Amino acid sequence: MLRGQLSLWVAAPGGGKTLLALQIALQAGVPTLYVSADTDRTDQSVRAALALGWDGMDPHGQETALSCIPLNVQFSFESSPTAHDIAQECEAYALVWGQYPELIVIDTLAKVWSEGDETARNKDGVDKCQEIARETGAHVMLLHHAQKAFDSGDKPIPLDGLMSGVSKTPEQVVSMWRDDEDRLTLAVIKNRSGRADPTAQRVRSHAVLNFEQMRVEEIQVQTFDWADDEYLKGGVYE
């Protein structure tokens, strides 16, 4: 996740996108703007508190956990922001903190409003989000949905499985699906700076999720010896 670049994180509805993105935002340790258009203030507050250690029992624990959110992690809860609205949030962040955020999470692309039909809006949204990454020098982590055929959330999502076919602009695309009840598989299906597999069969990691506590428990990075795969050695996945 390089600064000045755009990454697209794709999954089925309810597939764990927001849970993972929130955990990254809270633990990245960098100035962060989280545009939570798809999740309201109440739900996101509870999720953040659980991610930071609230056990859901002590009524005062949520307030204690929320007080642990770094001050430089700021949230916007506008439900249908335009790209201009997001850019203004970045300017406001810079005015308060003296610098642009280094990480901008936008949840989700479908909620970034512009004129036109769904496909036109999504393509325009991706282009505008990349402009924001270039202008602010932040990494923009943009969450997105897969096509309806992957709504079950339990099978690999290849590069051609993105809704509205918006894979051309982002520097990285990561698809996510649940291969069992509590494990999320992440596949790098596009990467201008390294290896990727558009079929989602290789270049994988796994995140162990705790859906009761709404947090990521563990990241498991799969190792793969590229030199042993004749197909890959041919440069297909470069």
The string of pLDDT tens digits covering residues 130-184 is 999 999 999 999 999 999 999 999 999 999 999 999 999 999 999 999 987 778 8
pLDDT for 82-137, tens place per residue? 999 999 999 999 999 999 999 999 999 999 998 889 999 999 999 999 999 999 99
Is residue 109 domain-resident?
yes
pTM: 0.89
- Cross-strand partners of 44: none
Q: Answer whether residue 56 is part of any domain.
A: yes
| 184, β-bridge pairs | 178, 207
Domain contains 115 = yes
154 near 177, Cβ under 8 Å? yes
CATH number for the domain spanning 140: value is 3.40.50.300
| C-alpha span between 159 and 174 (Å, rounded) | 9
- Counted domains in the chain: 1
Domain of 35?
Answer: 6-174
Q: How many helices (H) and strands (E) does the chain have?
A: 6, 9
Q: Domain for residue 200, yes or no?
A: no
Query: Is residue 225 one of the residues assigned to a domain?
Result: no
Residue 165 counted as domain residue: yes
The model's confidence at residue 213, banded by pLDDT at 50, 70 and 90, is low
- 229 belongs to a structural domain: no
In a domain, 63, yes or no: yes
Over residues 222-231, the pLDDT tens digits come to 655 555 555 5
